[in-house]
Amino acid sequence: MNPAFFIAPLAISAVSAVLAALISLTDKIVNNYGEVTININGGKKKLQVNGGAPLLFSLAETGIYVPSACGGRGSCGACTVKVKTDIGPHLPTETPYLTKEQIADDVRLSCQIKVKQDLDIEIPESLFNIRKFTGVVERIADLTHDIKEVYIKLEDGQEANFVAGQYGQFEVPPYAKIRERTQRAYSMSSAPSDKGHLEFLVRLVPGGIVTTYVHEHMKEGEKVNVVAPVGEFHVQDNDSTMICVAGGSGMAPFKSIFNDMIETGKIEERDVWYFFGARTTKDLFYMDWLKELDAKYDRFHFIAALSEPQSDEPWDGETGLITDVLGKYLESVIDQEKTKEGYLCGSPGMLDACMAVMRKHDMKEENIYFDKFA
């Protein structure tokens, strides 16, 4: 037999192996940035990290969690950080998510830029308080046909300190065809005083990765991770009339806020109007509790509205889109003379529609508060 039959494949294999080794060696040399320093807020924190990873993940490794609604995939635009070091021009994967002002101000998407050199960055100091909690799902309850209440007991020794209205990044494990852990943001619905637990309201979104997991796979007793507390949404400390609007699982921060106001007595000190929109009676929940608050506290007013009440359902409340009902009350029911503040929780479209109604009724944009993370 011709020895070339054996020699040729061996020679090709040997050359391939040498090339693979060369590529591996080159990769280690070229992409080895060694240990680099991230200097945060003018030296308030200095981190030593191994270079080469995206800034978002390098920060998370050291316990600093920059909010991200997409888990670092570069599709939400939330993980902004000001980078004072010159690291080159903004990437095409960043610019669609940043305003001209942000680009001029050296704001970058931390999931898109890699740590290749020492960096000076600026982040809100509130991010220093965000941490990763581990807990066990103590209870999962059906609130409606598509909303679940998930109550998590934090592991011993962990205490959540948050302000009513803030949110957490809820993490679910890989499942079915999803190969990686996935995080999504949900407002805490538990009261801040319940430091040993975190509660979330999760509405099933068709095709949603985290919501499908919670609704179809999550079990009581299961371990979960939550990065919290995140967000600036909270009740301002003044005596303005609060105009609160939500729909669906947007109820969550208001449950936390109202329970906090009850505990601190503030529910008796200022006027609160809470507008909750749903389609039919089967989409309503917590009604007994909210009606009880309305009856018990003179200054608390609860208005539920159904956009499409069914003919076979008893309903004597408001009907129509929540924005129309809000407009009607701002026009003719709520005291025109008092200063008003808006508090909103819902989808970007719902927020825009509510803000338009509030502006039309002379509410100032700077007095309308929300977290646009939905």
Q: Is there binding between residue 243 and another protein (CB under 8 A)?
A: no
Q: Is there binding between residue 103 and another protein (CB under 8 A)?
A: no
CB of 187 to another protein, least distance (A): 13
Q: Which of 263, 273, 170, 187 is nearest to 223 (CA)?
A: 170
CB of 78 to another protein, least distance (A): 7
CB of 208 to another protein, least distance (A): 7
Residue 138 or 146 with smaller CB distance to another protein: 146
SS (H, E, C) 10-21: HHHHHHHHHHHH
E-strand ranges in 33-178 read: 35-40, 45-50, 80-83, 107-109, 119-122, 131-142, 147-154, 167-172
CB of 272 to another protein, least distance (A): 21
The span of 52-60, 113-121, 260-268, 277-285 binding another protein (CB under 8 A) equals: 277-285
Q: Which residue has the tokens 């089967």?
A: 282
d(CA 30, CA 32): 6
Q: Is there binding between residue 368 and another protein (CB under 8 A)?
A: no
Q: Out of 38, 55, 261, 353, point to the residue binding another protein (CB under 8 A).
A: 353
Q: Is there binding between residue 171 and another protein (CB under 8 A)?
A: no
Q: Out of 274, 323, 344, 370, point to the residue binding another protein (CB under 8 A).
A: 323
CB of 75 to another protein, least distance (A): 5
CB of 344 to another protein, least distance (A): 11
Which residues sit opposite 108 in a β-bridge? 81
d(CA 1, CA 8): 13
Q: Read out DSSP for 95-124?
A: GGGS-HHHHHTTEEETTTSB--S-EEEE--
Q: Which of residues 83-102 bind another protein (CB under 8 A)?
A: 93, 96-97
Q: Is there binding between residue 56 and another protein (CB under 8 A)?
A: no
Structure tokens at 71: 């888990």
d(CA 132, CA 232): 18
The span of 37-45, 48-56, 66-74, 100-108 binding another protein (CB under 8 A) equals: 66-74
Q: Read out DSSP for 240-304?
A: PEEEEEEEGGGHHHHHHHHHHHHHHTGGGTS-EEEEEEESSGGG--SHHHHHHHHHH-TTEEEEE
Count of residues engaged in binding another protein, rule: CB under 8 A: 41
Q: Out of 130, 350, 357, 368, point to the residue binding another protein (CB under 8 A).
A: 350
Q: Out of 72, 229, 247, 253, point to the residue binding another protein (CB under 8 A).
A: 247
Q: Is there binding between residue 281 and another protein (CB under 8 A)?
A: no
Q: Which residues have a Cβ under 8 Å from the Cβ of 319 and sit 6 or more positions away?
A: 305, 306, 307, 309
Positions touching another protein (CB under 8 A) are: 69-70, 73, 75-78, 93, 96-97, 177-180, 182, 205-209, 247-248, 250, 277-279, 283, 307-308, 321-323, 346-350, 353, 372-374
